[in-house]
A = this chain, B = another copy of it.
C-alpha cells in the first residue's frame, strides 16, 4: 500500500511529466524566445506556484521539453529498424520513417528547430541539440560501418560522409516541405538518398 508521502511524490512526478508533454510542442512550434512560462501556465492550467514548484526557470523547462521531443522523434524514426534485413535496408527504413513522419510533434523536427533557435544563443539548449545531433549521426555512421564490415557496403565509403549527407538532406527537405506545405521536397530527398544507397552498396560495383 502506498503511503501518503509516496502518493504525493507520484502525483508530483505525473504533474511534472504533464508539464513537459504540454510545453514540448509549444517550444517546438514557437522557439525558446517565442514561448513564455505564462504560455505554459495557460496551456497546463497551472498557477504560477504550481509550475515553478517543478521548474525553477524557463531554461530548465525548455531543456526537459527538448529531451522529451527528441526522444519521441528518435522512437518514431527508428521504428522497425530491428526487422530490416541488413545495413542498407536499415538506412532505407530510417529515411522512410523520416519521410512518412517528418513531424514527430507539432512544429517539425525538434533538432532542426532547436538548432536554428540555439545556434547563436541559449547554451544549455545548444549543448543538448549538439548531443542529439551527434547521437543521431553516430547511429547512422555505425550502421554504415557495420555494412562495410559485412561487405554489404563498399570499403571506400566514409560512414561520417553518409551520416552527414542523410541528416542534411532530410532536415533541409523538411524545411522546404514545411514552407511549401507539400511532401514533394521530402519525396525528392528520399529519391536522392535511395540513389546514394545504390551507389555505396557493394553489389552495384562489380
Contact = CB atoms under 8 A, between A and B. Distances in A.
A185 B168 contact: yes
A129 interface: yes
Interface stretch (A9-17, A62-70, A105-113): A105-113
B130 A180 contact: yes
Q: Give the interface size class of chain A.
A: 35 or more
Q: How many copies of this chain sit in the oligomeric assembly?
A: 2
Interface in A150-190: 160-161, 164-165, 167-173, 175-176, 178-180, 184-185, 188-189
A120 B133 contact: no
Contact of A116 (B113, B185, B191): B113
28 contacts: A29-B120, A31-B31, A31-B116, A32-B34, A34-B34, A108-B116, A108-B120, A112-B116, A115-B178, A115-B179, A119-B175, A129-B179, A133-B176, A160-B184, A161-B191, A161-B192, A164-B184, A164-B189, A168-B168, A168-B171, A168-B173, A168-B176, A168-B185, A168-B192, A169-B172, A171-B172, A172-B172, A172-B175
